[in-house]
Amino acid sequence: MRTLKHPGEPEGPRRIGREAAGAGEFRIVLPEGADLLSDATRILVERGIENAAIQLTGGSFSSMQYLTGQPDDSGERVATYGAPTSLEGPVQVVGGNAILGRDSEGAPLLHCHAVVVDSDGQLHGGHLPGKVCIAGPEGLVLRVTVLSGGGFRVAYDAETNYSIFQPSEA
Amino acid sequence: MNDVQNSGGSAEPVVESGRFGRIFAIRLKPNEDLVEGVEAAAAELGVDHAVVRSAVGSLVDAALGYGQGDSRAVTMIEGPGVEILTLAGELRPGRDGAPRANLRGTVSDSDAKVYGGLFLRGANPICITLELVLQEWIPE
């Protein structure tokens, strides 16, 4: 198994786990024209939900973008995102996982990766950016598991030189 | 490939009733193995049955199994920067009682090609991070 040397020193522990309380389940269908990240975030925040595990289980996009990883030749990090790839619909959802937490300022942040199939039957997938992944005529179906008393909050990670989700108290 | 006892394989249906219990926000740091790291995190949290509720992250390289018996094979995806697109699966106690993970899913490489299969033990090192929500399953 190949391992990589990161720009910062490894910090322990190598696994962090924080217990939260399960605080209910929701099924959400975003309507045609909704933006996946911003509208799903808004709907959850309006219900007082700050932390959640989300599965994208159905629906389609009328248009979307995704980013995939690649080596970072600058040496500042071991990997980075490449340029976004744009797809025009109908783009069907195959699956997706997302986590709702908070950024370093405490604002809600939804981190989503997904797999889709385009109108030629070609699979695509990657990290979904905000404001450009738009629900198609079928909408987008999300299954939401709500966490309370714990979840994820962005903090600077010196080892990887990224600001990323860390398990946190509520 | 992964543990046989995790995958059923009986001639009769296996129906287990239960309920969900505690829920955990977990991060695996760079160079932890995906399968062994998830198992170790669960063991450290005192969980032996659990279900993946969501996971977002990346791998240095990926090794995804497919086939069975003599036909088993592995798709190797070279990174770094292999994105984990979906992760599904569960943990159940192995013969020694420690949680054993059976994890399946999809990844993409730097050319945006998508692959799927079973995440093999000891062959899927975390690149930047794995953000994972696990929920305890309590069989009744």
Each residue's pLDDT tens digit, B48-71: 999 999 999 999 999 999 999 899
**Which residues does chain B have within 8 Å of residue A16's beta carbon, measured at their own beta carbons?**
26-27, 29
**Which residues does chain A have within 8 Å of residue B131's beta carbon, measured at their own beta carbons?**
99, 111, 152, 164-165
Q: Decide if B129 and A165 are in contact by the 8 Å CB cutoff.
A: yes
Q: Is the pLDDT score of B4 beyond 60?
A: no
Q: Decide if A114 and B86 are in contact by the 8 Å CB cutoff.
A: yes
ipTM of the complex: 0.96
Q: How much is the pTM?
A: 0.95
In this predicted structure, what is the pLDDT of residue B1? 45
Give the number of other CB atoms < 10 A from CB of residue B63.
20
In this predicted structure, what is the pLDDT of residue B10? 75
Res. B8 pLDDT band, cuts 50 70 90: low
Each residue's pLDDT tens digit, A13-54: 999 999 999 999 999 999 999 999 999 999 999 999 999 999
Q: How far apart are CA A158 and CA A10, in angstroms?
A: 9
Q: Decide if B56 and A82 are in contact by the 8 Å CB cutoff.
A: no
In this predicted structure, what is the pLDDT of residue B11? 87
Q: How far apart are CA A158 and CA B80, in angstroms?
A: 19
In this predicted structure, what is the pLDDT of residue A6? 95
Q: How far apart are CA A16 and CA B131, in angstroms?
A: 10
Closest partner CB to A97 (pick from B28, B86, B124): B86
Contact A5, A73 (CB under 8 A): no
Q: Is the pLDDT score of B88 beyond 60?
A: yes
**Which residues does chain B have within 8 Å of residue A103's beta carbon, measured at their own beta carbons?**
none
Please give chain A's pLDDT, 170 residues, in tens.
Answer: 999 999 999 989 999 999 999 999 999 999 999 999 999 999 999 999 999 999 999 999 999 999 999 999 998 999 999 999 999 989 999 999 999 999 999 999 999 999 999 999 999 999 999 999 999 999 999 999 999 999 999 999 999 999 999 999 87
The answer to whether residue A98 neighbours chain B at the CB level (below 8 Å) is yes
> According to DSSP H, which parts of A6-148 are helical?
36-46
What is the CA B44 to chain-centroid distance, rounded? 16
Instruction: Name, in order, each residue with C-beta under 8 angstroms of B57's C-beta and a sequence gap of 6 or more.
Output: B28, B83, B84, B126, B127, B128, B129, B130, B131, B132
Q: How far apart are CA A14 and CA B24, in angstroms?
A: 16
Percent of chain B having pLDDT more than 70? 94
Each residue's pLDDT tens digit, B121-140: 999 999 999 999 999 999 99
Closest partner CB to A96 (pick from B20, B44, B86): B86
Number of H helices, E strands in chain B: 1, 8
If you average pLDDT over every residue of chain B, what do you get?
Answer: 94
Q: Is the pLDDT score of B83 beyond 90?
A: yes
